[in-house]
Structure 1
Amino acid sequence: MAFNTSEKILESSSSSSFSPAELASQGNSMLKSTEKLISTLVKPTDTSDNVSFTLPAVEVEIFMVGPNVTLDKIPRLDTTNSSVDIDLIGIAKNNSERSAAVAFMSFNTMENLLKPDFFNTSNDTIKTMMSTVISATLPKTTNTKLTKPVNFTLKHIREFDPSGSLSCVYWNISEWIVDGCSVLKINSSYTVCSCVHLSTFALIMQTSRPPESDSLLDVLNLVCVIVGLVFFSLSLLTFALCQWSPGVNNVARINICISLLLAHLLFLLTQQFLNIIRPHQVLCAVISGVLHFLFLSGFVWMFIEAVLLFICVKNLSQISSKKREVLSSGYLCVIGYTIALVVVGVSVGLLPEGYGSEHCWIKMDKGFIWSFLGPVCVILALNMILFINIFISLNSTLKNLNAEVSQMKQTKIMVFKTLAQFVVLGCSWILGFFTNGSKVLEILFLILNSQQGTFIFLIYCVLNNEIRQQYRKFFRCLCPGLKQH
Structure 2
Amino acid sequence: MSPEKGRVQLSPESSCALFQGQRQARGGSGPQLDPENGAGELVLISVYIQLDFTDDPWLAALSQPLTVLAASASSAPVTLTGLNLTTECNVTHNGCSYCACLSGYQWNSSVCSHHQPCQTSIKHRPCGCLVLNPTEVGYCQLLPPASVFNTPDSQCFMLAVQHCPTANTTYICELQSLGLSPLRVTVSVTIIQDGDTTCPEDSSTVAWNVTRAGHVAQAPCPGDRTGTVKRPCGPDGVWGPIHSNCTDTGLLALLLRAQLLQAGQGWPEEEVSQILAQLQEQVEAVTSPSDLLALVGTMTVLAKVVADTGTQLNCSALEAVLKTTDKVLGMNSSSLWTLALRQMPSVGSSLLLAVETLAHSLCPQDQPFSFVLPNVQLQSQLLEPTFPANYRVSFPTQPPLQAWIPRHSLAPLRHNGTNVSITSLVLQELDHLLPSNYGQGLGDSLYATPGLVLAISIMAGGQVFKEGEVIMDFGDIDGSPHCVFWDHDLFQGKGGWSDAGCQVQAASASPTTQCICRHLTAFSILMSGHTVPNNPTLELLSQMGLGASILALLLCLGVYRLVWRFVVRNKVAYLRHSALLNMVLCLLAANACFLGAPLLPAGPHSPLCLAAAFLCHFLYLATFFWMLAQALMLAHQLLFVFHQLSKLRVLSLMVLLGYLCPMGLAGITLGLYLPRGQYLSKGACWLDKKGGALYTFVGPVLAIVGVNGLVLTMAVLKLLRPSLSEGPQVEKRQALLGVIKALLILTPISGLTWGLGLATLLEEVSIVPHYLFTVLNASQGVFILLFGCLMDKKVQEALRKRFCCSHPPRSTISLATSETCISANSKGRSKDAR
CA distance 1:285–1:456, shift in 2 (3 Å)? same
User: Structure 1: how far apart are the matches of 2:734 and 2:541?
Assistant: 39
SS in 1 for 2:696: helix
Residue 776 of structure 2 is matched in structure 1 by 448
Instruction: Tell me whether 293-302 or 381-390 shows the greater mean CA deviation.
Output: 381-390
- Tell whether 2:665 aligns with 1:343: yes
Higher strand share: 2
CA distance 1:218–1:113, shift in 2 (3 Å)? closer
For the 8 Å contact 2:705–2:747, the answer to whether it is kept is no
Residue 546 of structure 2 is matched in structure 1 by 225
SS in 2 for 1:313: helix
User: Structure 2: how far apart are the matches of 1:132 and 1:163?
Assistant: 21
For the 8 Å contact 2:698–2:754, the answer to whether it is kept is no
For the 8 Å contact 2:702–2:754, the answer to whether it is kept is no
SS in 1 for 2:756: helix
Q: 2:633 aligns with which of 308, 332, 349?
A: 308
For the 8 Å contact 2:449–2:526, the answer to whether it is kept is no
User: Structure 1: how far apart are the matches of 2:790 and 2:742?
Assistant: 13
Residue 204 of structure 1 is matched in structure 2 by 523
* One-letter amino acid matched to 2:582: N
Residue 265 of structure 2 is matched in structure 1 by 93
User: Structure 1: how far apart are the matches of 2:653 and 2:538?
Assistant: 41
Within 5 Å, which residues of 2 pair with 1:384-403? 384-397=709-722
SS in 2 for 1:367: coil
Within 5 Å, which residues of 2 pair with 1:33-48? none
Within 5 Å, which residues of 2 pair with 1:333-482? 333-352=655-674, 353=677, 354-355=679-680, 357-397=682-722, 405=730, 412-435=737-760, 436=763, 438-476=766-804
Distance apart, 1:445 and its partner CA: 1.9
Higher helix share: 1
CA-based RMSD: 4.6
Within 5 Å, which residues of 2 pair with 1:2-401? 89-90=261-262, 92-94=264-266, 101=309, 102-103=311-312, 105=360, 112-113=392-393, 117=401, 118-121=426-429, 125=450, 129=454, 132=457, 184-186=494-496, 203-208=522-527, 213-242=534-563, 243-244=566-567, 245-247=569-571, 248=573, 249=575, 250-271=577-598, 273=599, 277-278=601-602, 281-316=606-641, 324-325=646-647, 327-352=649-674, 353=677, 354-355=679-680, 357-397=682-722
For the 8 Å contact 1:356–1:363, the answer to whether it is kept is yes
CA distance 1:329–1:113, shift in 2 (3 Å)? same
- Deviations, residues 150-170 of structure 1 (Å, cap 9, x unaligned): xx99889679x996675599x
Distance apart, 1:312 and its partner CA: 2.2
Instruction: Tell me whether 403-412 or 245-254 shows the greater mean CA deviation.
Output: 403-412
For the 8 Å contact 1:362–1:369, the answer to whether it is kept is yes
Instruction: Tell me whether 440-449 or 114-123 shows the greater mean CA deviation.
Output: 114-123
User: Structure 2: how far apart are the matches of 1:153 and 1:98?
Assistant: 26
User: Structure 2: how far apart are the matches of 1:93 and 1:188?
Assistant: 38
- Deviations, residues 88-141 of structure 1 (Å, cap 9, x unaligned): 853652559998852475799968437594443486639674753679x9xxxx
CA distance 1:127–1:371, shift in 2 (3 Å)? farther
User: Structure 2: how far apart are the matches of 1:215 and 1:234?
Assistant: 29
* One-letter amino acid matched to 1:469: E
Give the structure-1-normalised TM-score: 0.59
CA distance 1:98–1:134, shift in 2 (3 Å)? closer
CA distance 1:286–1:126, shift in 2 (3 Å)? farther
* One-letter amino acid matched to 1:206: I
Residue 6 of structure 1 is matched in structure 2 by none
For the 8 Å contact 1:314–1:393, the answer to whether it is kept is no
Q: Larger Cα Rg: Structure 1 or Structure 2? A: 2
User: Structure 2: how far apart are the matches of 1:284 and 1:403?
Assistant: 56
- Deviations, residues 177-228 of structure 1 (Å, cap 9, x unaligned): xxxxxx723485899xxxxxxxxx9512222288765444333333322222
Distance apart, 1:324 and its partner CA: 4.7
User: Structure 1: how far apart are the matches of 2:457 and 2:270?
Assistant: 32
User: Structure 1: how far apart are the matches of 2:468 and 2:667?
Assistant: 33
- Deviations, residues 236-272 of structure 1 (Å, cap 9, x unaligned): 333454222412112221111111111111112224x
For the 8 Å contact 1:316–1:397, the answer to whether it is kept is no
For the 8 Å contact 2:459–2:465, the answer to whether it is kept is no
Distance apart, 1:294 and its partner CA: 0.9
Distance apart, 1:310 and its partner CA: 0.8
SS in 1 for 2:494: strand
CA distance 1:99–1:226, shift in 2 (3 Å)? closer
Structure having greater relative contact order (Cα 8 Å, sep ≥ 6): 1
CA distance 1:332–1:158, shift in 2 (3 Å)? farther
* One-letter amino acid matched to 1:335: L
Identity across the alignment (%):
19
Q: Which runs of 5+ in 2 are unaligned?
A: 1-257, 273-308, 313-356, 363-378, 382-390, 402-425, 433-447, 472-479, 502-519, 806-834
Residue 820 of structure 2 is matched in structure 1 by none
User: Structure 2: how far apart are the matches of 1:460 and 1:187?
Assistant: 50
- Deviations, residues 277-304 of structure 1 (Å, cap 9, x unaligned): 3377332222111111111111211111
CA distance 1:368–1:127, shift in 2 (3 Å)? farther
